[in-house]
Structure 1
Amino acid sequence: MRLLRDIKGPAASPTGKPAPRFADDEIDLGHLAFKLWRGKFWVILTTVLSLSAGIFQLANTFPTYQADALVQLEDRSGRMALPSAMQDMVETSSSAVTESEILRSRMVLGQVVAEQNLDWLVTPETAPVIGTLLRRYDLPVPSLERTRAYARRGESITLDYLQVPPHWLGVSLPVTITEAGYQIETPDGNIWNGSAGETLSLPEQEFAINLSQISAPAGREYTIRQIPLRGAIDSLSSRLSVSEAGRQSNILSIRLTGGDRAEIERVLEAITTVYVRQNIARSAAEAETGLQFIRGQLPVAEANLRTAQDALNQFREETSDRALAQDTLDRIEPTAFESQALMGQITRAESDLRVINQRIEENRTRYPEGHLIFRQLGQEKEAVETRLTEFLAQVQNLPETQREIINLTRDVELAQQIFFDLQSRAQEMQVLSASAVGSVRILDSASARSGAVAPNRNRTLALAALMGALAGIGIILILNWLRRGIQDASDLDALELPVFATINYTPHADFKHKRKGKLPILGVETPDDLVMEAFRSLRTSLHFGMLDATSKAIVFTSSAPEAGKSFTSVNLAVVAAQAGQKVALIDGDLRRGQLRRYFDLPRSQPGLAQYLAGNGTLEDVVVATPIENLIFIPSGRYPPNPSELLMRRELDELIHVLDENVDLIIIDAPPVLAVTDPIILGKAAGTTILIARHDVTTSAEVEAVKKTFETSGLRLAGSILNGFDPRKARGGYGYGYSYGYRYSYETRAE
């Protein structure tokens, strides 16, 4: 056993150095990509399932439509409707943000909810999971008692009037369609019958309802509710969006979403109408407020004007009397004419000064302070003020009587101007209030798009495909993480289990699909296959390693089925026999042995079980094969007590006899972790080799096999890595160099 363990170490590279391995914390992208490619069917399956779920979701979801409208915010209310003299009075620069909030306010939406009865909800009873499908498509549904309540395509009821008491707000009222009309159950537990088009009134409960139209067969069930006004407003606001169409464009784009195109058009039209109506009402209210203020100021202005006129007339009368008494009228008249001319000049100068000041205030919002126009206006103002100062200085040179006349005259003109301005403003405000012109106008009325805006079919399917692919990738990664199979010979070497050979994967070894009939022997049908070179290398190693062994028997076992024990046993036996060795191949699996199929023997062929039971001699169970130097002992008919038969002394006698007559005994044993038979065969033979399947047998299984043998006082002599696939291995390293450098190198080069 020691020699067998020493003849073969870990797999080496052509240079004789240990094969490189990736560190545990490194990610081999090539290996990961291959894992994903090998598990592509998981990805395809999950993608198809996810796409199916996405298609079902699209079919089981009502489309959402969108209606839109455009509203312009005008800089001046009614600019085209009012005279130019009145436009300055109503100049208002509307803010898009302010108007957006007004549109979404409870003042506007509350009126819309009340006008359109949006606080009335009619909900049909729908089937679980596929309720929307039944309402969208004509699907066949079994006529069962329960399914009668579920709504179908094209069915509806029209609620024309609803009145509920305050304590019934938000309470569901079940409605069942009958042959004669409908039945409705009120919260007090009573059931009332009604007819389509007739109002069902319950004065004591303060309840009334009118279903104007019923387009549903008897048995259908609906739920009617009147929700609180605030809840209906919030629901409408959540479906409404307002934004400015372009920066500082003063054009609002209003959009409303919903499941019924006709309804959202009607509701959005109502929103824009109510908004424009309140805007006009607001402008009219402002004009009315201004008109009332002016009307209140007119009597005061009129009284001031009369007072100023009376004071001027009285002074003139007194002045005239004094002049006549002193006989100086001839000397006053020329001075009176002079003062009248001076008064006109002062009036014009003051008027020019007011105009200049007004122009300065208007330009402050258009130009910066240091602009040329301000310098020009400043120079004009300075010139007018200088001229006015000169005129006022001339007034001081006049006689006292003329100075008094000029001052009183100025008071009259000022009071007269104020009075006339107020009268003019009052007339303009009356026209403005009567015209009812607002600061907004509708550019595009409400219109719904023909296509649905949600759900987005392309985006939904793309997302479903992506999620499905990611789910498949996740499954592959989880499965590989949960089951980390042996990747190369270095994994077995790390478990302190020497590797005698690495046998590459070949599709000729997969006969899982072939449940009956003869199985081909690779060493006979395709002896030049590259895989057979691994068996020849193994044969050579075992031949020289067993020269001093006390027994020529070797047991091949595995941790679990499908590791390739039978494939390894029969092909190693063939290549050993072809080399001139006398080989005895024994099927030691008395439970499910299948080696007989390689030699086309019937199930009833006597074998090891009959020999151990004493029902046949060695000559009766030994079968000559077409292969020279190879004899075969099948498992025979399966016994009810295989472990007990293997524990008989006849097994030791059989191995002793064969030791004297053959050069190599190969025993194919069942899996270690399944039954105890390999332990018994291992004690009889003395040498046991574990077959590990690449990427299938896990390190935990190998550890369990070692522990099982050690518990029984035995030790595995080594292992064979079977079914090695370079495409599945980590980065392609550690690739089967244990069975000959020449063939391994050619394989890697390919």
Structure 2
Amino acid sequence: MNTLYVNNGPSRPGKDDGEFTASDMLRLLRDHLGMLFLFIGIAAALATAYAFLARPIYSSDVVVRVDPPDPNALGIAPQSQMQMGQSLPTVNQLAPAEISVMQSRSVLEPVVKQFHFDIKVKPKTFPVLGQIAEVFAKKGHLAPAWFGLDAYGWGGEQLQLGRLDVPPALEDQKLDLVLLDNNQYELRDPDGEMILRGTIGRPATANGVSILVNGATGHPGVHFDVTRLNTLDAIALMKNTMKVAESAKDTGVVQITFNADDPALTADVANALGQAYLTAAVQARQANDTKTLEFIRGELPRLERDLKTAEGNLSAFRAKSQSVQPIPEAQAYLQGSIVSMQQLATLKLQRTQALQRFQPSSPQVVNLDQQIAELEASNKQIQQRFDSMPASERQSATLTRDARVAETIYMGMVNKAQELSVRRASTSGGAHIVDNALRPYRPVKPNKSLVIVAGTGLGFFIGTFFIFLRRHAMIGVTDPMFVERRLSVPVLGEVLYSRQQAMLDHEIAVSPVEHAPLTYSGAESGGAPRALPHIELPEHDAFAMPHVADTDRDARVLATRYPHDPAIEALRAVRTELYRDLANAPNNIVMLTGPIPSAGKSFVAANLSVLLAEIGLRVLLIDGDMRRGHIASFFKQSNPGGLSEVLKGEMALGDAIRYVGVPGLSFISCGVYPENPSELLMMPGFRNMLARMSDQFDLVLLDTPPFLVVTDAAIVASDAGSTVLVLRSGIQSEEEIEETVKKVQRAGGRLVGSVFNAIPRRPSNRRSYGYAAAYTSTFKSMN
């Protein structure tokens, strides 16, 4: 029994088994440029159609500046405290808050009502054809109905609704409005029941539904889908068409952008959003000013009493002590303590005001409490520095400080009350519009160039992915290098697909060989099998180029009909490899097999046998496929009278050997398909026949059934000195090839290589094909 011998042929160094490299990917794409360009073309066409047929979207924006809050809200904060801006939000804190206000329902709802964004109107269109008609309809003109289908819109239909109020049960439900003659219309519910009949230009109310149709354009009988959206849904949809963002960080300048398919509407809505925000800001400022004014007016009587008390105490002390001006040390005490006490008084008033809105534990009140505690601690330090001053001077300075602080706070509050009274009547708020929205003249979407480029790129990636997926998942192995890299089985030849062979196959199919009646020179049917006789073969010069008889030209073998076809040139390379390997083989029997049917074993066997005979070898070709063998048809012969008859003893071996018109080539057909081919191959007579033929011929070429389908090839494998796998591009999977190699090993075969058959002519192999074609044309011209 032969042991498995796999030639570790020219596997490429530096690559792991099964690794798919970048160069492989480039070669794969080059081989499928047509398919790749098809994907790219389809994607580019769709992208171009979308870019030029999609409804354009316009964008317009209004720019608003948010003013920072007044740091002297009560009118009594000292300059230093105003500069510090204690307890007030900064600009970068204010802008996000105002952006949230701009997107609030209080700002968006008036705009939704103003432009009727809570009402959706769309003419009913015929599927597909209606969309096509709308694309080609002339803007502002009513398109004629196609095929007389007046119930559908074909372009130019319009319906202007001034009002639509429905019960909650009919919100977000499509109502059917049908235009009638004489400016009449009908409104129907989703079930088709009529709700009301009305006249264009006049309000109509019935069944809880109120509607006002201001105008309509359309053929009588056309239907419109009319939907009254829930207000929250309408606001949510509007948020999706607008964008609010700060123009630049920490500037307080906010940009409100609105997108729509109508340029005039885009600018109008953007300006309306800016005005709605200003209105909300004015209302918020007025409400805040009203609360502040009420607080100041409530505190003024107490502050006035405090001022009179402080001034009275100071006057009484001066009259008693006969002192008018404090000493220089007292002046320094006054300068430090007046500002500190004014700040303390301001914070206490702010805390009193804050308690009207917040709990004592709120962050706003806690922050004020911390500032008050810090100022009180600072005042104690100032007081301790002047403890050494005479008591009378210290008392005079304290009374003077109290009087000045009380006067400053009172007068500041009086002035602030007057200011708030005037400002409360103003229509300006804490923001103003920097730039109004203008009507855009150029759409922002779709960006035609970007869409086309992106679509083309997407087509390239989808095409690449499909080609890669098709190679690895959808079709079989197409790369001969897989066999060498993954399985270390050398590829003896890469046979290109032949158009001439396709014509020959068609000729075989349309003109089958008629089965001639069987004539047996051996035992009669039913007699005992006769021994295999010795066969005398004619001697001839093995090294002389034999003359191809005229009968060769009638055969359907590509090597005789078109001897310079690129496929035959590739098989000549296989012939060279096999001839070299014969010196290392245990015998001269070569078995051809494959994983599955339709790999082209018979084609390779027939043509390879002719090529081997052409170099002067005595070759015997045996069609060992007694199930579906058809090599005889290549030579315009029939199957009966072949291997099956010999193994069953119905025909002598010498009578089964045929001449096919090629010098040096003999042939044994498969015979009539028997019922037990495996059993016939396992009989000792088959092994004896192979041994006898091996002695009398230079090379025995045995074609066998597929290895994964039946067991015939596994039975023969151990008797053959060499086994060649015939693989067809795109037919067998990686798993099937691997399993075949394993089964050859288990059967004891000696695998010398593979032949990759019917490879499509791709750009990646065009170079070698071009070389072969060039040499072929040169040879023809010389002859």
Match of 1:446 among 437, 445, 456: 437
For 1:418 and 1:629, the matched residues in 2 are separated by 129
Q: CA deviation at 1:452?
A: 2.2
Question: CA 1:394 to 1:271, structure 2 compared with 1: closer, same or farther past 3 Å?
Answer: closer
1:272-322 CA-partner distances (Å, limit 9, x unpaired)? 112112222333334444445555667778899999999999x9xxxxxxx
Aligned residue runs from structure 1 range 281-360, under 5 A:
281-293=283-295
Match of 1:192 among 174, 191, 196: 196
Question: CA 1:420 to 1:583, structure 2 compared with 1: closer, same or farther past 3 Å?
Answer: closer
For 1:305 and 1:621, the matched residues in 2 are separated by 139
Matched, 1:573 2:613: no
Matched, 1:201 2:201: no
Aligned counterpart, 1:102: 101
Q: CA deviation at 1:250?
A: 1.4
Aligned counterpart, 2:697: 663
Q: Counterpart of 2:618 in 1: which secondary structure?
A: coil
Question: CA 1:662 to 1:121, structure 2 compared with 1: closer, same or farther past 3 Å?
Answer: same
Question: CA 1:595 to 1:444, structure 2 compared with 1: closer, same or farther past 3 Å?
Answer: farther
Q: CA deviation at 1:438?
A: 1.8
Task: Count residues with an aligned counterpart.
Answer: 643
* Unmatched runs of 5 consecutive residues or more in structure 2: 348-377, 508-555, 766-783
Q: Counterpart of 1:114 in 2: which secondary structure?
A: helix
Q: CA deviation at 1:67?
A: 2.3
Larger radius of gyration: 1
Q: Counterpart of 2:156 in 1: which secondary structure?
A: coil
Q: Counterpart of 1:247 in 2: which secondary structure?
A: coil
**Percent of residue pairs bearing the same amino acid type:** 16
Asked if the contact 1:239/1:257 (under 8 Å) is kept, the reply is: yes
Q: Counterpart of 2:436 in 1: which secondary structure?
A: strand
Aligned residue runs from structure 1 range 40-439, under 5 A:
41-51=34-44, 54=47, 62-75=55-68, 95-126=94-125, 135-138=134-137, 143=146, 151-180=153-182, 181-186=184-189, 189-202=193-206, 205-293=207-295, 390=393, 424-439=415-430
Asked if the contact 1:51/1:465 (under 8 Å) is kept, the reply is: no
Asked if the contact 2:624/2:705 (under 8 Å) is kept, the reply is: no
Aligned residue runs from structure 1 range 605-624, under 5 A:
607-609=638-640
Asked if the contact 1:173/1:184 (under 8 Å) is kept, the reply is: yes
Question: CA 1:302 to 1:676, structure 2 compared with 1: closer, same or farther past 3 Å?
Answer: closer
What amino acid maps onto 1:284 in structure 2? Q
Question: CA 1:280 to 1:648, structure 2 compared with 1: closer, same or farther past 3 Å?
Answer: closer
For 1:92 and 1:646, the matched residues in 2 are separated by 97
Question: CA 1:290 to 1:661, structure 2 compared with 1: closer, same or farther past 3 Å?
Answer: closer
Question: CA 1:513 to 1:389, structure 2 compared with 1: closer, same or farther past 3 Å?
Answer: farther
Aligned residue runs from structure 1 range 585-624, under 5 A:
593=630, 607-609=638-640
For 2:414 and 2:396, the matched residues in 1 are separated by 34
Q: Counterpart of 1:107 in 2: which secondary structure?
A: helix
1:248-268 CA-partner distances (Å, limit 9, x unpaired)? 111112222334333332222
Asked if the contact 1:67/1:448 (under 8 Å) is kept, the reply is: yes
Match of 1:693 among 722, 727, 732: 727
Q: CA deviation at 1:229?
A: 2.2
Matched, 1:538 2:578: yes
Q: CA deviation at 1:439?
A: 1.9
More moved, 662-671 vs 700-709: 700-709
What amino acid maps onto 1:451 in structure 2? P
Q: Counterpart of 1:212 in 2: which secondary structure?
A: strand
Q: CA deviation at 1:70?
A: 0.8
For 1:125 and 1:582, the matched residues in 2 are separated by 80
1:508-535 CA-partner distances (Å, limit 9, x unpaired)? 8664543557654179945995752541
Q: CA deviation at 1:105?
A: 1.8
Q: CA deviation at 1:722?
A: 1.2
Asked if the contact 1:162/1:208 (under 8 Å) is kept, the reply is: yes
1:87-130 CA-partner distances (Å, limit 9, x unpaired)? x9999966112211221222222232233332222244355578
Question: CA 1:131 to 1:620, structure 2 compared with 1: closer, same or farther past 3 Å?
Answer: same
Q: CA deviation at 1:214?
A: 1.9
* Unmatched runs of 5 consecutive residues or more in structure 1: 316-334, 365-374, 396-406, 494-498, 600-604, 733-750
Q: Please report the RMSD computed on the Cα atoms of aligned residues, expressed in angstroms.
A: 6.6
For 1:680 and 1:311, the matched residues in 2 are separated by 126
Q: CA deviation at 1:71?
A: 0.6
Question: CA 1:122 to 1:388, structure 2 compared with 1: closer, same or farther past 3 Å?
Answer: farther
What amino acid maps onto 1:578 in structure 2? I
Q: CA deviation at 1:477?
A: 3.0
Question: CA 1:716 to 1:151, structure 2 compared with 1: closer, same or farther past 3 Å?
Answer: farther
Question: CA 1:194 to 1:144, structure 2 compared with 1: closer, same or farther past 3 Å?
Answer: farther
Aligned counterpart, 1:505: 494
What amino acid maps onto 1:567 in structure 2? V
For 2:605 and 2:319, the matched residues in 1 are separated by 143
Question: CA 1:581 to 1:447, structure 2 compared with 1: closer, same or farther past 3 Å?
Answer: same
For 1:361 and 1:62, the matched residues in 2 are separated by 64
For 2:738 and 2:471, the matched residues in 1 are separated by 25
For 1:353 and 1:648, the matched residues in 2 are separated by 122
1:301-347 CA-partner distances (Å, limit 9, x unpaired)? 8899999999999x9xxxxxxxxxxxxxxxxxxx999969779x9x9
For 2:401 and 2:621, the matched residues in 1 are separated by 144
1:645-694 CA-partner distances (Å, limit 9, x unpaired)? 99999xx99x89x96997368677574479989789979x9999554227
For 1:463 and 1:164, the matched residues in 2 are separated by 46
Q: TM-score, normalised on structure 1? A: 0.63
Match of 2:457 among 434, 459, 462: 462
For 1:394 and 1:707, the matched residues in 2 are separated by 111
Q: CA deviation at 1:179?
A: 4.6
Question: CA 1:418 to 1:74, structure 2 compared with 1: closer, same or farther past 3 Å?
Answer: closer
For 2:212 and 2:189, the matched residues in 1 are separated by 14
For 1:308 and 1:645, the matched residues in 2 are separated by 131
Question: CA 1:348 to 1:663, structure 2 compared with 1: closer, same or farther past 3 Å?
Answer: closer
Q: CA deviation at 1:361?
A: 9.3
Q: CA deviation at 1:193?
A: 3.3
Q: CA deviation at 1:245?
A: 1.8
For 1:58 and 1:99, the matched residues in 2 are separated by 37
Aligned counterpart, 1:474: 469
Matched, 1:723 2:756: yes
Q: CA deviation at 1:215?
A: 2.6
For 1:414 and 1:12, the matched residues in 2 are separated by 104
For 1:643 and 1:244, the matched residues in 2 are separated by 88
Asked if the contact 2:176/2:190 (under 8 Å) is kept, the reply is: no
Question: CA 1:670 to 1:167, structure 2 compared with 1: closer, same or farther past 3 Å?
Answer: same
Q: Counterpart of 2:99 in 1: which secondary structure?
A: helix
Match of 1:11 among 7, 13, 16: 7
1:527-565 CA-partner distances (Å, limit 9, x unpaired)? 995752541453576699698x9xx8x774544223343
Q: Counterpart of 2:503 in 1: which secondary structure?
A: coil
1:192-239 CA-partner distances (Å, limit 9, x unpaired)? 33343333222xx23221222223334543322222222222332343
Asked if the contact 1:577/1:583 (under 8 Å) is kept, the reply is: no
Q: CA deviation at 1:726?
A: 12
For 1:308 and 1:486, the matched residues in 2 are separated by 105
